[in-house]
Structure formats: structure tokens, C-alpha cells
Structure 1
């Protein structure tokens, strides 16, 4: 008898439960398209899929793949089993006619009754078919035994309905010496073959179910270990949210997660440095404000106080001359008036100098290049032993209040440092605009021939202020030693929107570093 091929040989043995046990499958959108599922949800509310833990979602995706593989395996097995049962039925039916011829040939005294009885007994041993023997009159020959195979088959009825081919019945005439003595009615009976298929399918389903349960358990443990560093990352981010920048992650074994941990530690370190720098700048700002207030108070006391006292004294002198009984001495009055005018001029000069230090009065009213030239001329008057030169011909009229003020203050502070700390005899400032494929860049360079930067030079308030101003405009600031003296290089990208920004009051200039 031909060997029935193994059912589902081409199926995926990782398939799910093939035993017919009811299993719930996830909705299509939940399995494969979590973003789309989230989009179709209620606005402002996360979908159920999005609220699940990552490990649960991964397990559900693996389970969905297993279920699909199980259904595909079941379909392939049913198709193969149908074909195999049909082939087995045809093969068994084909053995009936040789069996009849062999029985007739082996019979020594083949009377019709004995021959038909012998055939009926031999047909009882056949599988997959039922053969009923009838004599020439159409009456059943032999013993009609009950068909117990239908009562003891194990395959459920729904499985039989899937596998069993349409029932077929064939009549085979029994002829001896040219005389028809009866017939054999062959009816297909695939229950035995279907029981074999069912047994194989049940065993395969049980093995697949146990294997998948083991795989899911292993994946649950593996995903838990793989995703455990993410819990540490979440705790670290919570620390950063609470402004605790001492958070540190130990690099996990996974190369990808180790890279994330390294980046996190770098970000935490950068935030810690930024916080420390902000703290230093806040302390410097408070110190600068106190120092500036002290300087202004000293100037008001030392410069304006004597002038006001002199004005008061001259006014009292004029009043006494005017109240005298004799004719007022015009010469004395003219001298007092000249002295009062001189004092007023001195007060006006100091007032302009003080206002210009607090806020350049010409900035925004005249072109930027002219303001910078006026700054050089003012430094030349106050420091006659130093030559101040500049080149600002290629500048636009203005670049907005923030950029103009930053350029002015940086050049002012750089020249102050060159004179005060470098004892320079020549200071040159240059400012030009360069264009390229990206935004235009405003370059500012201040060189001096002084002593340069000392190795133990610290970052004072003036340098910190310049750096902060430039970096606030997304620019770059560099202070280096040149062949002789020091050089300050500043690059500020020119953004058109800055020109339309609201004009802000300039904070007091910090003292030079």
C-alpha cells in the first residue's frame, strides 16, 4: 500500500496551535500599523497600542506572526492532506480488481457461492474502501458486519469535512469463465487516512504550541533584559528634568544602547558645565552691576560733586556782588560767568562720556562704520600714546540693534584690554561682511602689538561678556596670541529677521577684564 506523504511537509513548523483551539487574533491595524492606529484614535488621547509597554508590543507582534504562520500552515496541510487522501483512495480502489482476479485464479473449485464468499472475506481486510459483494440476483453475499470504523475514528467532524473528498462508488463485475456471477460495489472510506492526518496534525500542533510558548517565554526574558537599560535611561532623564545633572548611566552590553548611554552622559556633562557657567555668569553679572554702580557713584561724587560745589560758590559770589551797595564790578561778574561756563562745559563733557559708556548715543542714528570711527577717535583722545586705526568701509548702514551693539561693545572692550593689559602702542580694528552659499557672515578682527595673552590669563568679566554676546547671536569668539600682541576674532551670522526685532535697552557695560 502506498505510503501517505507527511502532511504539511512544506509548512512552517513554528506555526501556532493547529488543533483547532480558539485563538484571538489582534486587529490588523494593531499588528502592523501602530502609527496609523494612533492617528485614527480620538484626538488628544493615546491609542491602546501606544499605552502598552514596549516589551508587550514586541511579544504581541511575535504572537501575531506566529498566528499568521499557523493559519498558513493549516491551509497548506489541508491542501496536501486532501490531495494525499484522494491519491490513497485511488490506489486502494485500484487493488480491488487484481484481488478479484487473484482469488479466482487461486480457487480450485470456483463455485459462484464459494467464490463470492471468499471474495467478501478478503475484501474485509482492505483499508480506505468498503467492498460489498452481490450475486447475480443482486443479493448481498457473505456476512454483513457492522462498520465499527465510523464509531471509533478520532478526527472531529469539522476536520473530516475539510479533508474528506466527495464520496464515490464504483461497481466491479465478477466474471468467471466468461459468465458474470456477481459484482463488487466499491465505496471509498477515507476515515482511516483522515485519522492518521489528524493524529499527525494534533502532534504537530501540540509540539508547535509548546515550542512557541517556550519561545515567547524566552523572548519575554530576553526583551526584559535588553530593554532594562531603557528604564535606567528614563530615570536619568527624570533626574535631568529635575535639574539634577549628576545623572550617569553605566554602558550596557548592547552596542546600540551603549552608544545611547554614552551620548546621555555627554549631554548630562554638558548641561552640568552649562549650569556651572550660568552660575558663574550670574555671580559675575551681580558683581558687574555692583561695580558699575560703584563706578558711577564715584564719578558723580568725584566729578560732578566738585563742579556742582563750584557752581554753587560762583552763584553765591555773583549774588553777593549784585547785592552790594556799590556799583557791581563788571570784571568780577565776567570772570564769574566765564568760570561758570567752564564748569558747565566740563559737566557736559563728563555727562556725554558717562552716557556714551552706558549707551552709545550715535548707535542706530548714524551708520555703523561712522559709529566705530567715532569710537576710535574717542580712544585716540583718551589715550594719546596709542595709535588706533580701523577699516569699516564694506559694512552696511546697520545690521539691527543687537548686532550693531555687539560689534560696538566687542571692539570697545578689545581696545580697552589692549591698552590696559597689553600696553599696546598700535591697535587696529577691522570689520567686514562676507557672503557665501549660506547666510552672510560679519567678521570682526581686533589686533594689537602689546604683550599678548599671559599663560595664566583668566577669563574676566569683559571677555565673558563679549563671548556671551557673540554666542547669543549664534556666532563664534576666539582670543589668541599673534606674532606680536593678541588678536580677537569674531564671526556673527547675519539673519535678516534680527533687523526687525524690538530695540532693547543696552545693559551697563561690564568693567574691562
Structure 2
């Protein structure tokens, strides 16, 4: 049954139910037919015995019955006149055991067909019929013969078969019609299921533009609507993933170019200066000249250290490991404010932030870094409000400015915001961007407890 389709299972179940109903009906018909035959035979037997008893009582006082028939035989009960009693075979045997009279001495032609053998066996009337009734006939104390009354259900079986055969044909046609109707109805009902399966197969093979039609059935129409929304969302997600992949590749290349340029422009210049001063020291004939070159080398190497620290901070904010998230964010804000003294910064960062998972900490730091960079480049804001706090759902951060604002639905909002949102969603967080041109921007980020939180940052 596990390998059968739902459509085949329904056909099989309905067919079995119909067969069960037909069998129940057949058993009921057989039971009623058997009871009818027995009742008919028993009632006829009782009636015949009553009539024969009356005849015997009459013969005890009237000997006129000792008349010979036309064939020279003595007729006592005139049983040949009881030929219409079809459910009983009545025989009279004399005291020598010879058959003298019978109601079946004359062949009777019956209408209709004899019931088939299987029908007779199915009714099994013979197993419940009474044994033949025997009645001794004694006249003036002398035994003259025996009446034998044997039940004969042949005629009743023929009548029942005539009635049942037509009914069986009608029921058979009805059952066949029901099966055909059920087959067509189930096939029509399951046609949308095949379309749904076809649509799922298309999605499985990457055809995300696949859509289902609107079905007539309410439940299937709801499935169709949800499938189409799912396919649209999946198609949009795949498209966004492709775009973000291209953006990530672009950002990686830009970062590599910038890093290579910084290494060449700054570290390269420092190394060139060190090389020149070192060569001067080697060629110097006076100690004062060598000392000046050594001092220059020391100054250059100190500048190189600062430059390398800045480069490393861009690659990985080491301050997170040293200070924790709360102080690292505070220090980032202070450094930015030192470079933008005309902007009022309201810093609402909780001092007891729980230390989240490393990936969450880096993401929060990078988002704030990106937002401050965007504010300085594009917003022309006078006031910036930054809030970072613990909430029941997890870590919460909001950055708001009163600058120019922008249209969040615009496709050209830049790689930074798209990259930030992708990183937040990758950590099972939510990022919401609210902005209206001319009315500032508010970015809210909410991380759930999915991140691994440790002790409070110190």
C-alpha cells in the first residue's frame, strides 16, 4: 500500500467499500430468502397435515372412498388433485411399501428458469429443512399404509431466483456506474495535484518562474496562492543572492585594491625613506649625520606601526578583543566625533552589554562603522543618536540621523546597506531601514538569542 498513489488508494478503498456493501446486501437477501422458503414450506406443511387429518377422520366414518379409479387402483386421498401444492411432495405407501398415490404423479410444467447451482448452494436450504413427516394410516385397528410429506423448496427457489436475478443485474449496473463515476470524479479532483507536483518538480530543477493556476476548489486555490508566493519569494531571493554575490566579489576586489594602494603609497614610501636613511648611515663619516639618520628611521618606523595598525583595524577590529563590545563601540564613536565636531552625537550605549558571539560582535561593530561613514559622506546631518542595549529578544541597536534621507526601495542604495542587511539576516537577525528624503534615516537591528551570549562585557 505504501507504494500506491493516493488516487489509486482512494479507488481501492471506495471499491472495497462498495463490494462490502454489495456483500452485505447479498447476505441480507440470502437470509431473507432462506427465511421465506422455510416459512412457506412450514406453513404449507401445517396446512396440508390439517387437511389430511380432516380427510382421515372423514374416512373413518365413510367407506365410500373404497372406490376404484379408472385405472383399477383404489384411491384413498386423491393426492393427484393436490398437484398445485408446490412446496410439498406428498406420497402414500401401502402396507407393503408400494407407492399408491402422489401429488407428483402428474408432471407439472413450471414457468421460469431453474436457479443456478451456485445460488442453490449459497442458500443451503437443505441443511435447515425439516425431515420428511411420516403419518401411519390405521383403519379399524389395521395398518393400511403410510403418508410421507417431504418439503420441496424447488418452486420457491425458482421464484426467488427470478426475483433476485433481475435485482442483481440492476445492483451490478448501479455498482459499476458508481465505480465509473468515482473514478472520473477522483481523476478530475486529482488533476490539480498533478499540476502541483509538476510545479514542485520545476522548482526543484531551478525553474523558479514556475507558477500554478488558480484552482476552483478553495483548499487547492489556497495551496496555489501560497505556492506562487513561495516561488516569487524564492525567485527574488535567488536573484538577490546573485546580486549580493556580485557585490561581495566587487567589495572584495575594491578592498584588495585599496589595501594594495595603501601598502604601496604608505608602507612603500616609508620603506624607501628607511632605505635612504640607512644608506646615509652607512655612508656617513660623521657621528652626527648617522645619529640624524637613525632618528629619522625611528620616526618612520613609528609612522609605519600606526599605519599598519590602521590597516589591521580595517581587516579585523582588535579593539573588540581588548575592550569588549560596549567600550569598542564607544571608542569608535569618540574617534568619529573627533573628526566631525559639528555633529551632535547622542550616545546611548549600555555599559553592561552581554558579550555576544564573535560574529555578532563584529557585525554590530561593522554596521555602526558603515553607518557613521555613510552619515559623514551623504547625510549632512546635524544630530546623530546611537542606541545599543540588551532586550528580551536579544541585542538591539538603532542609529538615527536628521540628515538628507533617501528612498530605501531604490535599487541604487549602495553595496554597504545591502551587505549589512545580508550579514544580519545570515545571523538570524532583523534589520529595518526607515528613511524619507529630507527627513533623515533610522536603521534598527535586532539580533535574537540565537547568538551565544556569555558574561557581561567589562
Structure 2 length normalisation: TM-score? Answer: 0.84
Kindly state the Cα deviation for residue 126 of structure 1 after the two structures are TM-superposed.
Answer: 0.2
Match of 1:32 in 2: none
- Quick one: which of 131, 139, 142 aligns to 2:90? 131
Residue 64 (structure 1) aligned with residue 22 (structure 2): no
Distance 1:157 1:273, change over 3 A: closer
Kindly state the Cα deviation for residue 422 of structure 1 after the two structures are TM-superposed.
Answer: 1.0
Residue 376 (structure 1) aligned with residue 328 (structure 2): no
Task: Give runs of aligned pairs for residues 300-339 of structure 1, distance below 5 A.
Answer: 300-320=263-283, 322=284, 324=285, 327-328=286-287, 330=288, 332-339=289-296
Task: Give runs of aligned pairs for residues 217-232 of structure 1, distance below 5 A.
Answer: 217-232=180-195
Give the 3-state SS of the residue equivalent to 1:142 in structure 2: strand
- Give unpaired runs (5+ residues) of structure 1: 1-48, 500-513
- Quick one: which of 425, 430, 449 aligns to 2:382? 425
Kindly state the Cα deviation for residue 241 of structure 1 after the two structures are TM-superposed.
Answer: 1.6
Give the 3-state SS of the residue equivalent to 2:320 in structure 1: coil
Distance 1:363 1:148, change over 3 A: farther
Distance 1:173 1:137, change over 3 A: same
Q: Distance in 2 between matches of 1:456 and 1:210?
A: 66
Match of 2:441 in 1: 486
Match of 1:453 in 2: 406
Match of 1:465 in 2: 419
Residue 239 (structure 1) aligned with residue 202 (structure 2): yes
Kindly state the Cα deviation for residue 212 of structure 1 after the two structures are TM-superposed.
Answer: 2.0
Distance 1:359 1:113, change over 3 A: farther
Distance 1:393 1:149, change over 3 A: farther
Residue 476 (structure 1) aligned with residue 437 (structure 2): no
Q: Which moved more, 1:481-490 or 1:207-216?
A: 481-490
Q: Distance in 1 between matches of 2:280 and 2:11?
A: 101
Match of 1:347 in 2: 304
Distance 1:225 1:454, change over 3 A: closer
Q: Distance in 2 between matches of 1:176 and 1:281?
A: 122
Given that 2:430 and 2:445 are in contact with CA atoms closer than 8 Å, whether structure 1 keeps it comes out as yes
Aligned residues: 439
Distance 1:133 1:219, change over 3 A: same
Give the 3-state SS of the residue equivalent to 2:101 in structure 1: coil
1:140-185 per-residue CA deviation (whole Å, 9 max, x = no partner) reads 43366277799x8424166346234233223457799999987643
Distance 1:66 1:228, change over 3 A: same
- Quick one: which of 391, 399, 424 aligns to 1:434? 391
- Quick one: which of 149, 156, 175 aligns to 2:117? 156
Match of 2:70 in 1: none
Distance 1:365 1:127, change over 3 A: farther
Distance 1:229 1:491, change over 3 A: same
Point out which structure has higher relative CO (alpha carbons under 8 A, 6+ apart).
1
1:232-267 per-residue CA deviation (whole Å, 9 max, x = no partner) reads 222222221221112122223333222222222222
1:184-238 per-residue CA deviation (whole Å, 9 max, x = no partner) reads 4322111221222233333333322222222222222222222222222222222
Match of 1:394 in 2: 352
Given that 1:119 and 1:133 are in contact with CA atoms closer than 8 Å, whether structure 2 keeps it comes out as no
Q: Distance in 2 between matches of 1:454 and 1:89?
A: 99
Kindly state the Cα deviation for residue 340 of structure 1 after the two structures are TM-superposed.
Answer: 2.9
Kindly state the Cα deviation for residue 273 of structure 1 after the two structures are TM-superposed.
Answer: 0.7
Distance 1:420 1:363, change over 3 A: same
Match of 2:133 in 1: 170
Q: Which moved more, 1:256-265 or 1:486-495?
A: 256-265
Give the 3-state SS of the residue equivalent to 1:474 in structure 2: coil
Given that 1:123 and 1:130 are in contact with CA atoms closer than 8 Å, whether structure 2 keeps it comes out as no
Kindly state the Cα deviation for residue 454 of structure 1 after the two structures are TM-superposed.
Answer: 4.9
The root-mean-square deviation of aligned C-alpha atoms, in Å, is 3.5
Given that 2:408 and 2:434 are in contact with CA atoms closer than 8 Å, whether structure 1 keeps it comes out as no
Q: Which moved more, 1:465-474 or 1:85-94?
A: 85-94
Distance 1:286 1:498, change over 3 A: farther
Q: Distance in 2 between matches of 1:51 and 1:465?
A: 47
Residue 119 (structure 1) aligned with residue 119 (structure 2): no
Distance 1:441 1:261, change over 3 A: same
Q: Which moved more, 1:133-142 or 1:252-261?
A: 133-142
Q: Which moved more, 1:193-202 or 1:165-174?
A: 165-174
